[in-house]
Amino acid sequence: MKKILLSLIFLYSISSLLIGQTQAGLQKDILISTGTSNVDLVYKVNGRDGRLYQSYIGAKLGNLLSLNQIRDAGHLAYATFGTDNLFEPAIRMTHNDGNPSLELKYVSHNVEKPNANITITHILLKDPEYPVEVTLNIKSFSAEDVIEQWVEIVQKEAKPLTIYNYASSMLHFDASKYWLTQFHGDWAEEMKMQENELTSGIKILDTKLGTRAHMYQTPVFFLSLNEKSDENNGELIAGTLGWSGNFQFLFEVDEKNSLRVISGINPFASEYTLQPGKVFKTPSFIFTYSNQGKGLASRNLHHWATSYGILDGNGPRMLLLNNWETTYFKFDEPKLNGLLDDTKKMGLDVFLLDDGWFANKYPRNDDKAGLGDWQENKTKLPDGLGYLVKEADKRGVKFGIWIEPEMVNPKSELYESHPDWILKLPNRPEHYYRNQLVLDLTNPKVQEFVYNTVDGMLTKNPGIAFIKWDCNRMMTNAYSVYLKDKQSQLYIDYVNNLYNVLDRLRQKYPHLPIMLCSGGGGRVDYGALRYFTDFWASDDTDPLERIYIQWGYSYFFPSVSVCNHITSWGKQSLKFKTDVAMMGKMGYDIPVNELTEKELKFSQDAIANYKRLSDIIWHGDLYRLASPYEGNRAVLMYVNSAKNKAVLFAYTLNARYGESFNRIRLQGLDPAKTYKIQEINVPTEGKHTGGSESGKTYSGDYLMKIGLNAGSSTALTSNVFEITE
């Protein structure tokens, strides 16, 4: 991509003219506008003090003259600590002479335009007394209305200095009220939504898990301004941090009811030594602004994510049969050959062999041993992975494999041979989680080991077509032998070195599909997803629970990235399970040989339907029509960009006596087009309800103003409609 460096002298002089406040002896004010198609984020350099302020964030301004009318609220764009700021700073450091303050003044800015859609603005700030430079970077994606912000800090003092706070982004809002929506959870109960009004003082969303961002809190939020927003109404931003470790979103409402939002790596126990000349680069804070509710915000993020946030987000995906819940650790070659047959029989693309295939001295027959010893187990796989790749090939399907290369069981050869490669505290007993410990990725030898584990396996077996990369624990025992007296850098160096390993692997294997897993959905963030094609959303595959979990993810992550498998969890019908899995990236983890003939036929047909419609589900526009948080049903639909094809999913969660659901108004269609409604995934046996609209034809106008009778009033039933112009 050709980078065009645009001088902003023109904007500089125009904006100075516009502001018209320049006085003799003072510098001119400078406006720096960093908008997208529908959003403006505007900064102003105040000529009187040389500092950079945030002037405006919100809907696109008709012209910059409007900014003259805005009362200057004095919102520092990147507030420092130690001079006159009395609220939470974006950055705090101690210089090597012990001075604990930082002052930042504007120096210059420039704009890069890598292509028509992307604009990157770099604003250079500097301490007038100390050789410390801070560059604010703002990357705007015009068509998607998404903005990415990150910061680079460089110091040129003679000796190292220490930074304590180093936010990726600081944003200010002036609204009458603020409503924060957050997503909390735990293992098997990810993405539970809560919404609360922010009151004076500080509210923090964060995690301190080390190896992953997500588990108890997901690194995402909605912030609604003035009033609560719903799917189609309300002003809000949707924000997320691209970082697979400790994160922090801090919301501070001050005495004037102004809100500052500070997003970045969690500064908790993470002071960082900055060596002279070294650049400290923060991860990206990614956000969109919408004045048409959460629905538009999600679609903006989905569009951004498929093009820029997820590896090959616009590309196709292969459908999996996984063996985890079918076999757990108990399998051998004949059993796996049977599962390869099943993959073919179902019409799926890849068989994914999960945990349990490796280690010999301490065989991986449960989760207590073997992790770290990545050689095929000779009893279970006497002919090695190569044999399975060939067997898959014979059947016209692909072979994929599970790994967890960042971890080790104490009962392993790796633990015995490299105790210094493992995070554990001196003078303390080892603390286990799932009987395992974390390898010290800050150590270059460990980075090499992780890289070689994956690369070695792929070099030996080039036919491996899919990987599931797991990370089954968070960091306790957080002590690195390698880091010596720099222990507080562990949380940051771990994640950056994980990214370095992934960068190397992606240079060699740019498009190999890899699913990101972390004991279920423990590592769902856009820092990691640059390297991964999809993620395992939760170990909880009960379809009723999944409706809520998937609903939660759908606010921030496109369905092409959310792996939903049909499993034995939950007592609902196979149809209900299938319909729930279909709203994302569908896969299977059931004993196919136990399906009745009718169930097998139903599944084969459903897979064929899914393959026909998956492009619309993965890359179409999502409209959430009825929320499971607000009633007894969940309804959503995807529409393709030509608006000639849509898929609607309706799930009835609970049925109260006498409750009947009204018609649901569809969205995103073309009012002038006529659509045929066709129910799909109709079971060949069992009671079926709610498909009365199948076969009918309506105008888009009718469907969007009057609506469709979608779904039934029987609990735990579902209906899927294919809607075709």
The CA distances from residue 386 to 465, 501, 644, in Å, are 12, 25, 45
Write down the least CB distance from residue 519 to ligand GLA, Å. 5
Minimum Å gap between C-beta 433 and ligand GLA is 12
Q: Which of 264, 519, 543, 690 binds ligand GLA (CB under 6 A)?
A: 519
412, 472, 480, 573: residue in contact with ligand GLA (rule CB under 6 A): 472
Contacts to ligand GLA from residues 380-409, by CB under 6 A: 402
Q: Binding segment for ligand GLA among 13-21, 342-350, 514-522, 713-721 (CB under 6 A)?
A: 514-522
Pairing type for strands 272-274 and 178-184 reads unpaired
Residue located via tokens 């109260």: 656
Q: Which of 304, 399, 536, 721 binds ligand GLA (CB under 6 A)?
A: 536
Binders of ligand GLA in range 354-373 (CB under 6 A):
354-355, 367
Question: Between 282 and 327, whose beta carbon lies closer to ligand GLA?
Answer: 327
Q: Of the two residues 15 and 541, which places its CB atom closer to ligand GLA in the complex?
A: 541
Q: How far is the CB of 225 from ligand GLA (least distance, A)?
A: 37
Q: 80 with 136: CB under 8 angstroms?
A: no
CB of residue 521 vs ligand GLA: minimum separation in angstroms? 8
The smaller minimum CB distance to ligand GLA, of residues 536 and 638, is found at 536
Strands (E), 113-242: 118-126, 132-141, 146-155, 161-166, 169-174, 178-184, 192-197, 201-206, 220-225, 235-241
* Phi, psi dihedrals of residue 72, rounded to the nearest 5°: -75, 110
Contact between 681 and 606 (Cβ < 8 Å)? yes
Q: Which stretch binds ligand GLA (CB under 6 A): 40-48, 223-231, 513-521, 630-638?
A: 513-521
Angle at 387 between CA 350 and CA 410, to 5 degrees: 85
Please report, as residue ranges, which positions from 221 to 250 form the binding site for ligand GLA (by CB under 6 A): none
3-state secondary structure of 342: helix
DSSP assignment string, 656-677: -TT--PPPB---SS-TTSEEEE
Nearer to ligand GLA, 505 or 517 (CB): 517
Segment 316-335, which members bind ligand GLA (CB under 6 A)?
A: 324
Cβ-closest position to ligand GLA: 355
Q: Which is nearer to ligand GLA, 253 or 320 (CB)?
A: 320
Is 470 near ligand GLA (CB under 6 A)? yes
Q: Is there binding between residue 576 and ligand GLA (CB under 6 A)?
A: no
Rounded to a whole number of angstroms, the minimum distance from the CB of residue 436 to ligand GLA is 10
295 vs 520, beta carbon nearer ligand GLA: 520
Asked if residue 499 binds ligand GLA (CB under 6 A), the reply is no
Say how far apart CA 206 and CA 269 lie, in whole Å: 13
| Parallel, antiparallel or unpaired: strands 562-566 and 585-588 | parallel
540 near ligand GLA (CB under 6 A): no
Closest approach, Cβ 517 to ligand GLA, in A, equals 5
> Which one-letter amino acid corresponds to residue 645?
K
Length in residues, the chain: 725
Within a 10 A sphere around the Cβ of 383, how many other Cβ atoms?
12
Of 210 and 520, the one with the shorter C-beta distance to ligand GLA is 520
Spacing of C-alpha 34 from chain mean position: 24
How far, in Å, CA of 544 to CA of 652, rounded?
Answer: 10
User: From edge to edge, which strands make up the β-sheet containing 645-652?
Assistant: 621-626, 633-639, 645-652, 717-724, 674-680, 697-699
Q: What is the DSSP letter of 507?
A: H
User: Of the listed pieces 21-29, 64-72, 278-286, 512-520, which binds ligand GLA according to CB under 6 A?
Assistant: 512-520
* Closer Cβ to ligand GLA, 520 or 558, answer by number: 520
Q: Residues 605-644 vs ligand GLA: string with x where CB under 6 A?
A: ----------------------------------------
Number of residues that bind ligand GLA (CB under 6 A): 12
> Which residue spans within 501-575 are E strands per DSSP?
514-516, 534-536, 562-566
Nearer to ligand GLA, 502 or 517 (CB): 517
Choose the binding region for ligand GLA from 173-181, 272-280, 295-303, 515-523 (rule: CB under 6 A).
515-523
Q: Which residues contact 507 (CB under 8 A, 6 or more apart)?
A: none
Q: What is the DSSP string of 603-652?
A: HHHHHHHHHHHHHHHHHSEEEEEE-TTTSSEEEEEEE-TTSSEEEEEEEE
CB of 110 to ligand GLA, least distance (A): 45
Footprint of ligand GLA (CB under 6 A): 324, 354-355, 367, 402, 470, 472, 517, 519-520, 536, 539
